[in-house]
Structure 1
Amino acid sequence: MNFPDPCNAVAEAAELGCVIDHLRDVVFRIDGLGSWRFLNRAWTDLTGHALADSLGSDFLQHVHPLDRDGAEARFQRFMAQAQEPLRHRLRLLRRDGSFVWVEASLRQVLDAQGQPLGLTGTLADVGERLRTEEQLRLAATVFNGAGEGIAVTDPHGRIVDVNAAFEAITGYRREQVLGRNPSVLSSGRHDKAFYQAMWAELVDKGAWSGEIWNRRADGALLAELLRITAVRDAQGRHTHYVAIFSDITGLKRQQETLERLAHYDALTGLPNRVLLTDRLEQLIAQASRRREQLAVCYLDLDGFKDVNDAWGHAAGDELLVQAAERMRQVLRPTDTVARLGGDEFALLLDHATSEAMVFGVAERVLAALGEPYLLERCSARVTTSIGIALYPQHGHTPGHLLRNADQAMLRAKRLGKNHACFVTEDEMGVSERERHALALRQALHAGELLLVYQPKVDARTRRPEGVEALLRWQHPERGLLSPGDFLVQVQGLELECEIDAWVLEQGVAQLGRWAREGVALSLSINLSASALLQPQLAERVAGLVAEHGVPPGRLELEVLETAALADLSAVVRTMEGCARAGVSFALDDFGTGYSSLHYLRQLPVKTVKIDQGFVRRMLSDAGDMHIVRAVIGLAGAFGVRTVAEGVETASCAQALTELGCDALQGYGIARPMPVAALAQWLAAQGDGA
């Protein structure tokens, strides 16, 4: 009969104990009273507690206080009746006071009669697993809750997942794109070279970002601001690509609308002064190379003001549209007709072989524009005065040619209108413009210039928030003149800066008086391009503000977009210098100049003023309504306030308020008025001025 060798049993037990001590997980045994009876060395590694200090102690004292009640209840239930092995997560306290999450695997220990003696099992550190699970949950929440569209592809470009925003933006359901290439979204607007360059940068740098045109599931174009990032494994191999994009279609549409306004007249669709000047520069260069002539014709509609006064702006606009179409029909495809503003137009005639040829075109234009206009509410007839300048005889630059043609047009009016006149030698000498400038300088020194003030109100409350200072000339013979009647002729002259300086000084002085009287009004003052580009402007404005005690935020300077863009870096420095003195800037007639997002980002302006031409027609013209909505939306995107000029009716004011415009200005609010009348108007509004 063979008996077990006691020595072998001891050796096996020792070997087993050694194995248990080297296990990563804690192996434990708890007696029926809840005291530790056995713990391997992993216990000390996990908690920092020495085995000798822990054995014999109550296991609950090592359990986190927030988990003790639950752990004790489970221990009691498990001891009371036989159960299947139990898994339970809880926190154990470390010696240093911190805690560690563990997963306990428990099993009953029974005596020979099957009665429970205690529990045995293991404790596994699951802290890292829980942190990983938390990160995965967080990532999933971000992925599914992000407002940007997200698509994940494998290294071969096949889509493996998309989020809810991807479905909402593109219109494709997740199951429709899984396993497919992102080219399913391609719009066809980018060529092969575009995508090759994109992937070359992505492979080389691990990321690519930019604007891209794709197409929605319904076929509509989709503009995206897209960033693609490569995901690498530990060996640096690309395992996935993550594309994150936002929908900028609306913003791009607004930008396209405003960029078109930079070069085309909104009413007639003709090129505006900016595009005309650009084309004229090109034609001058071509004519110089070919040694040919070209002609510049300056047109003004005689009697147009009478149509406006008699039948209103809508009828006048309709007449301008018809006149533009008549000129298109008369001219050759290579010629250009442009609207300069109001009822003034310009023609560019390339290959002007002779004066007779140019005069023949002018006569056809006179005849076409002289025919009756059948308008919605009336029939009207106007004539036209045309001035003609030839290159190179009458000038070598766009400005010179246009000025001389303008002088010839004024002579055509003096000759009885409905005439076409070429530039004369006299008009190329001392011009009427220079004579006008002399008279205006005398008016400045004689005290004939004055300021009136037009209120602006909050669009929602209709409460007065400020006024705009407007220049007037009390002419001894012609009566009270608006700036359009006398300032245009001195643009670019030194006199223009002198008048700006006078307006600035008078306006700031009045603003200081209001501040001392307790009238909390802001004041807007218009600046010309010449004044804006003066290097000492910021210093002068700061000095005036300090001299008259103007509180910060009360003075706003208005500039035209085209003025601000003449020397962008210099203008930004001037604006920033004025801002340090508490003076802000507004872009006037926004939408009629360059209207570029690039410039709106760079210029530190706080307000844009929507041109009154768009505002007046917005309720009757869907195109103008779209422009107004686009300007308000664009301003909101950049955190800039909007002021609508030319508000003449309550319905127009209400529509602007609903579109989100911030402030209103126009005859429907209040007409420009002297200081005394303004005080009475403010009192009537309840401001107590």
Structure 2
Amino acid sequence: MQSYTTYKQLIAKTVILSLLSSLAIAFLYGIYIKKRAIDDLARNDARKTSRMAFEALYSAMEKGWSKQDLNSIILRLNNVEPQMRINAYRSPIVASLFGEISKDKKIREHDPLVMRAMKGEEILNGDEEIRYLYPIVVNQQCIVCHTNAHVGDINGVIDVRFPVENLKISLSTMINSFIIFFIFFTIVIFAILYFRLNALLVQPLKQFITLIQEIISKNDMAKRVSLKTKILEVKNIENSFNKMLDSIQDYYEKLQELSDRDYLTGLYNRRKFEEFLSYEIKRSVRHNHKFTILMIDLDNFKYINDTYGHASGDLVLKEVTEIFGTNLRNADILARLGGDEFAVLLPETPYENGFAVVEKLRSRLEATPISLMFDQITLTASFGIAEYPEQGENIESLLTGSDLAMYKAKRSGKNTIARADQSDQEMAAEIQKKGEFLRRAIDEDRIEPFVQAIYYVQSGELFGYEVLARIRDGKRYIAAGQFIEVAESLGFAAKIDEIILTKGLRLREEKGWWDRRFFFNLSTKSLFGGDYVDLIRSHYERNPGASENTGITIEILEREAIHNVNGLMEIIESMKKIGISFALDDFGSGFSSFVYLKYFDTDFVKIDGEFVKNIAVNDKDRIFVKHINQIAQEFGKQTVAEYVEDEETLEILKQIGVDYAQGYHFGRPKLLE
């Protein structure tokens, strides 16, 4: 197991290492200084002493002194410095001319250093005691007396000996040596610090930054940091960063799974299904083969949620997923697009084979009972099938084609299989075109509120306004009836409702029309999914003189109310508590109209204009309007007649006793800037 050090330990080690290094350098430098003193200072001092001894002996020899006189001079020189000893040895040349001295001959023949000096070599030797041998070289003056010698010969050797402690180093030498040592020591210390910190700190950090940049640039959350370091803190950074990467990778994978998978069933979601579909289209183009996609919608699934609850509904969806999954190939792609809607991609499967797969799924689903609480239910589904490239050559057309086929199967009685034909494709293309028009209108803020006045029938006074949605297209405005069905099918209705409600309420505030009731058409999907209660409540709070007759009324269509009666009853009850009233719109257009009077606590009934506009010429319509008005008023509802287009119709409504009226007779819907 590799051991690590801390930065504190690193700094301590660096300081100690630097100190030891400096001491070692100082020690070695001291030895060097000592050696230099011996080599340089001793040589200089000894040379001077030897020269002085030679000059003294030479002066005596010029005066003709004998060997005893010369020995006496050497003795006196030795007495001058008791610790220094000076000796002079004759060479064979001098001995042959002036006589041999036995001591000189013995030393000359047995002392190696003297033997070397006799050959002309200047010698400095010794550690504790310095010995310097200075050879006396014959020059032109010496030949006068030493007639047997030649210039360059050695006449003798002066031997000087003295202890090392007698050497004296000059002050300048000491100062210069200290300066040189200090400079060198400083350079060494900084070099050690630089290389140690660079290797143990800077390089790991640079490596760390490089790895982080690589992870960011490649978005590679699987990569991990591995630093070459012995520093504990750096290793802790590495470990902590890798743990953070582990958490990020785990979070990233979960997000990836959530972005690709349906949280309930674990199936692929719409986005991922469309990715597979796009890939299969490219593969089919490359290999020239067909494939099939299926759109599946469970029949009467809403009944299960309403009867057994949403938890049981979720259980059913999981069971259906299991049934479908066990009856598909491994290569087939099963996805849940939302709610009770599924989709299947059958790669390299033409329509005939795809139909066989669909029939297998349909029959297995129908034949498999699903246990639910203390009951067992059987479930069916409607299947739409589309083949590439017959029903479409891109994602949009294939999805739309299979979706239309699925709706065709539902209209055919459910638990059936349908295929989109050419007319369905043309209708789908038209829906796509209108959908794109709606999308651009919303994005470009071209949804505008128009208002149509509503009047008291008996007095002819203004009662309020119905706010209607229009799309601005250049200089013209398109009525809601031309796009409302497409908006509902493509999921734009709620957004349009929000825009009209927001702009309508703002218009009411800007105009100061607090004494007029405003009617808004909101889809049930908007009521279940929007924040309209808070929007209207805040509008009420800005009303300086609110009253029961000057509030906001939401109109409900009968064809929408039938889908969720219980839920809508709860919403009406809760919203009425804050002063929002409701109206049943297009009353009389469906068979359930009078049933809704019993269950829905609405304040107004708007009589369908198809009955109203012909009451002056059609007795049956007049009878319908009369009885609708009578029943509504007996239930405590106020009535509003639509499509009032002439004075004669208005007079009949007065006779019948209808409360309010609106239509072209009073004025067309208009934009109020």
Select the structure that is richer in helix. 2
TM > 0.5 between the two? no
TM-score of the two chains, using structure 2 as the length reference: 0.37
In terms of fraction of residues, the more strand-rich structure is 1
